Structure 1
Amino acid sequence: MGVVIKTTNGGNTWVNIPNPSAQYGGLMWSIQPVDSEVVYAVAGYDHHENFRRRQ
Protein backbone atom coordinates (compact mmCIF):
# COMPACT_ATOMS: atom_id res chain seq x y z
CA MET A 1 0.00 0.00 0.00
CA GLY A 2 1.47 3.30 1.03
CA VAL A 3 3.24 5.08 3.80
CA VAL A 4 1.92 7.78 6.11
CA ILE A 5 4.53 9.96 7.77
CA LYS A 6 4.17 12.79 10.24
CA THR A 7 6.24 15.81 11.19
CA THR A 8 5.71 18.06 14.18
CA ASN A 9 8.68 20.36 13.63
CA GLY A 10 8.23 21.84 10.18
CA GLY A 11 9.73 18.88 8.34
CA ASN A 12 13.05 18.64 10.18
CA THR A 13 12.25 15.07 11.20
CA TRP A 14 9.60 12.59 10.06
CA VAL A 15 8.05 9.61 11.85
CA ASN A 16 6.22 6.66 10.23
CA ILE A 17 2.72 6.25 11.62
CA PRO A 18 0.31 3.36 11.11
CA ASN A 19 -1.70 3.69 7.92
CA PRO A 20 -5.28 2.62 8.69
CA SER A 21 -6.22 2.72 5.02
CA ALA A 22 -3.68 -0.02 4.27
CA GLN A 23 -5.42 -2.29 6.76
CA TYR A 24 -8.90 -1.67 5.40
CA GLY A 25 -8.17 -1.16 1.72
CA GLY A 26 -8.85 2.57 1.59
CA LEU A 27 -7.10 4.99 -0.70
CA MET A 28 -5.28 8.23 0.04
CA TRP A 29 -6.57 10.56 -2.67
CA SER A 30 -4.76 13.80 -1.98
CA ILE A 31 -2.46 15.53 0.48
CA GLN A 32 -2.12 19.30 0.32
CA PRO A 33 0.19 21.14 2.73
CA VAL A 34 -0.89 24.71 3.41
CA ASP A 35 1.95 25.72 5.70
CA SER A 36 4.20 24.18 8.35
CA GLU A 37 1.25 23.62 10.68
CA VAL A 38 -1.68 22.75 8.40
CA VAL A 39 -2.03 19.88 5.94
CA TYR A 40 -5.28 18.76 4.33
CA ALA A 41 -5.59 15.06 3.52
CA VAL A 42 -8.41 13.28 1.71
CA ALA A 43 -8.90 9.53 1.93
CA GLY A 44 -11.71 7.13 1.24
CA TYR A 45 -12.86 4.02 -0.52
CA ASP A 46 -13.48 3.42 -4.20
CA HIS A 47 -16.88 1.74 -4.30
CA HIS A 48 -17.27 1.97 -8.06
CA GLU A 49 -17.59 -1.43 -9.57
CA ASN A 50 -17.15 -2.52 -13.12
CA PHE A 51 -20.35 -4.29 -14.11
CA ARG A 52 -20.08 -6.56 -17.13
CA ARG A 53 -22.69 -8.79 -18.65
CA ARG A 54 -21.57 -12.39 -18.54
CA GLN A 55 -22.99 -15.12 -20.71
Structure 2
Amino acid sequence: MEFFDIGAVVWILRKCVWWIPDFAVDRYRGALVELDKQLRSGRPFVAHSTRHLIEAERP
Protein backbone atom coordinates (compact mmCIF):
# COMPACT_ATOMS: atom_id res chain seq x y z
CA MET A 1 0.00 0.00 0.00
CA GLU A 2 1.16 3.53 -0.70
CA PHE A 3 0.06 6.46 1.42
CA PHE A 4 0.37 10.02 0.21
CA ASP A 5 -1.10 11.96 3.15
CA ILE A 6 -1.00 11.63 6.92
CA GLY A 7 -4.79 11.58 7.21
CA ALA A 8 -4.92 8.33 5.26
CA VAL A 9 -2.26 6.80 7.50
CA VAL A 10 -4.13 7.77 10.66
CA TRP A 11 -7.44 6.54 9.22
CA ILE A 12 -6.08 3.09 8.34
CA LEU A 13 -4.31 2.71 11.69
CA ARG A 14 -7.54 3.53 13.52
CA LYS A 15 -9.52 1.03 11.42
CA CYS A 16 -6.95 -1.81 11.46
CA VAL A 17 -6.34 -1.91 15.20
CA TRP A 18 -4.35 -5.15 15.00
CA TRP A 19 -1.51 -3.40 13.11
CA ILE A 20 -0.57 -1.16 16.05
CA PRO A 21 -2.77 -2.23 18.98
CA ASP A 22 -1.93 0.77 21.19
CA PHE A 23 -2.19 3.36 18.38
CA ALA A 24 -3.31 6.82 19.42
CA VAL A 25 -2.48 10.08 17.65
CA ASP A 26 -1.21 11.67 20.86
CA ARG A 27 1.03 8.68 21.64
CA TYR A 28 2.60 8.67 18.16
CA ARG A 29 2.48 12.41 17.45
CA GLY A 30 6.25 12.78 16.98
CA ALA A 31 6.48 9.94 14.47
CA LEU A 32 3.38 11.19 12.65
CA VAL A 33 4.85 14.69 12.35
CA GLU A 34 8.04 13.25 10.84
CA LEU A 35 6.05 11.05 8.49
CA ASP A 36 3.94 14.06 7.46
CA LYS A 37 7.13 15.93 6.53
CA GLN A 38 8.19 12.99 4.36
CA LEU A 39 4.79 12.83 2.66
CA ARG A 40 4.70 16.58 2.02
CA SER A 41 8.12 16.38 0.38
CA GLY A 42 6.67 14.01 -2.21
CA ARG A 43 7.94 10.70 -0.83
CA PRO A 44 5.02 8.33 -0.16
CA PHE A 45 4.92 5.90 2.73
CA VAL A 46 4.95 2.36 1.36
CA ALA A 47 3.61 -0.39 3.61
CA HIS A 48 4.11 -4.08 2.89
CA SER A 49 2.09 -6.83 4.47
CA THR A 50 2.16 -10.58 4.49
CA ARG A 51 -0.88 -12.75 4.73
CA HIS A 52 -1.15 -16.42 5.55
CA LEU A 53 -4.00 -18.80 4.79
CA ILE A 54 -4.30 -21.63 7.26
CA GLU A 55 -6.68 -24.42 6.35
CA ALA A 56 -7.62 -26.82 9.13
CA GLU A 57 -9.85 -29.86 9.26
CA ARG A 58 -11.21 -31.69 12.22
CA PRO A 59 -10.00 -35.33 12.11
Is the TM value for this pair above 0.5? no
Larger relative contact order (Cα-Cα within 8 Å, sequence gap ≥ 6): 2
* TM-score normalized with structure 2 length: 0.28
More helix by percentage: 2
Higher-Rg member (1/2) = 1
